[in-house]
Amino acid sequence: MAQHFLLSPAAKTLSLAQVMRMSHEEAETMFVRIRWSETNGEPVCPGCACQAVYNVRRPTGPARWRCKACDKEFTITSGTLFASHKMPLQSYLSAIAIFCNEVKGKAALALSRDLGTSYKTSFVLAHKLREAMASELKGKHVGGDGETVEIDGAYFGGYVKPSNLKENRRDRRLAKNQNGKRRVVVVIRERGGSTVPAVFKSESASLGWIGSRVAPGTKVVADEAASWNGLETRYDVARIDHSQAYSLNGVYSNNAESFFSRLRRGEIGHHHHVSGPYLVRYAQESAWREDNRRVSNGDQTRNTVALALSSKPSVDFCGYWQRHKAV
Ligand SMILES: [Zn+2]
């Protein structure tokens, strides 16, 4: 039997030990090469894209340049997701390697133990990495003639704990006994292509979004849920009734199910709560992990560094500390 990819040497190209042995200069060089790969590692001003820069590194400080055109100073992380970073670059690299090596997700508490940071620092950092991974999915369109996408939904969040005593327990299936935080993650998964998730209040609320992301002419596979009936006006839809079979006459949505399996295991095994505004980020992280599952861990780490360095400062956490200090 052929060896599973994840067990092969090709899957393991970067160990945490290698990252830990890197000097500060080596980590800097790696970040510079990744950030400015288009100019072979020559710094480019993030403000005006000018390539003529002075090296203004101070004796004990990080790499720093001043733009000849606009006179602004910048560092390796200026204008990126890691802008005004507080930790050494090796710590970011370690965090990314640790984050990528986990296959279902990494708990912020465990990350804070690995890095020796506060819980909040690792929480924010992990969410920035999710934001970086999500940037790859932004505005992504899938499908087309001859292509097949699988569509499915699953509910997350809004857990209501049953009361201790039987006489105090309520029927938690009724809307009036729920807390309103339950949401459905809907995924579009193209066979041999990308995985695109989003969050809605109900499956039927996602039809407009599906229409905007899946090209006309695409073959769509969905389960028997009535919420998907509206897809038939737009696409050629095959249905698989899961009460009868998971795969019948070549119709199945197992790839979409695999995505939910990963996200659910991340929720149960690592994060415990994935509700609220962050749910979409956990879903996007799982999608990235699905789409990159056959990429070596060294390349996953480098690709995530590249995504973080090509993303603008965080939309989720810009000013997070300031806001939270104020309250
Ligand atoms: Zn400039």
148-292: CATH topology is Nucleotidyltransferase; domain 5 (3.30.420)
Give the model's pLDDT for residue 177.
Answer: 78
Give the model's pLDDT for residue 174.
Answer: 78
Give the model's pLDDT for residue 199.
Answer: 95
Confidence of residue 176 (pLDDT cuts 50, 70, 90): confident
pLDDT at 325 over 70: no
- Token readout for 228 is 């998907």
Domain positions in the chain:
14-135+311-326, 148-292
pLDDT at 282 over 60: yes
Q: How far is the CA of 110 from the centre of ligand 1 (A)?
A: 40
Q: How far is the CA of 313 from the centre of ligand 1 (A)?
A: 18
Q: How far is the CA of 53 from the centre of ligand 1 (A)?
A: 8
Q: How far is the CA of 44 from the centre of ligand 1 (A)?
A: 8
The pLDDT of 8-33, averaged and rounded, is 91
Please tell me which of 179-188, 275-284, 291-300 the model is most confident about, judged by mean pLDDT.
Answer: 291-300
Q: How far is the CA of 85 from the centre of ligand 1 (A)?
A: 20
What pairing do the DSSP bridges indicate for beta strands 64-67 and 73-75? antiparallel
Q: How far is the CA of 316 from the centre of ligand 1 (A)?
A: 26
Q: How far is the CA of 138 from the centre of ligand 1 (A)?
A: 27
Q: How far is the CA of 73 from the centre of ligand 1 (A)?
A: 8
Q: How far is the CA of 181 from the centre of ligand 1 (A)?
A: 46
Give the model's pLDDT for residue 327.
Answer: 43
Give the model's pLDDT for residue 35.
Answer: 96
Confidence of residue 197 (pLDDT cuts 50, 70, 90): very high
Give the model's pLDDT for residue 1.
Answer: 67
Percent of the chain with pLDDT over 70: 97
pLDDT at 30 over 50: yes
Q: How far is the CA of 66 from the centre of ligand 1 (A)?
A: 8
Cα 132 to Cα 48, 70, 267, 271, 285, distances in angstroms: 23, 28, 20, 19, 9
Q: How far is the CA of 64 from the centre of ligand 1 (A)?
A: 13
Q: How far is the CA of 37 from the centre of ligand 1 (A)?
A: 18
Give the model's pLDDT for residue 164.
Answer: 86
Confidence of residue 320 (pLDDT cuts 50, 70, 90): low
Q: What is the mean pLDDT of the chain?
A: 90
Give the model's pLDDT for residue 324.
Answer: 59
Q: Mind listing the pLDDT tens digit for each residue in 120-155?
A: 999 999 999 999 999 999 999 999 999 999 999 999
Q: How far is the CA of 203 from the centre of ligand 1 (A)?
A: 47
Rounded to two decimals, what is the model's pTM?
0.90
The pLDDT of 77-82, averaged and rounded, is 93
Q: Mind listing the pLDDT tens digit for each residue in 234-274?
A: 999 999 888 888 888 888 889 999 999 999 998 888 888 77
Q: How far is the CA of 144 from the centre of ligand 1 (A)?
A: 42
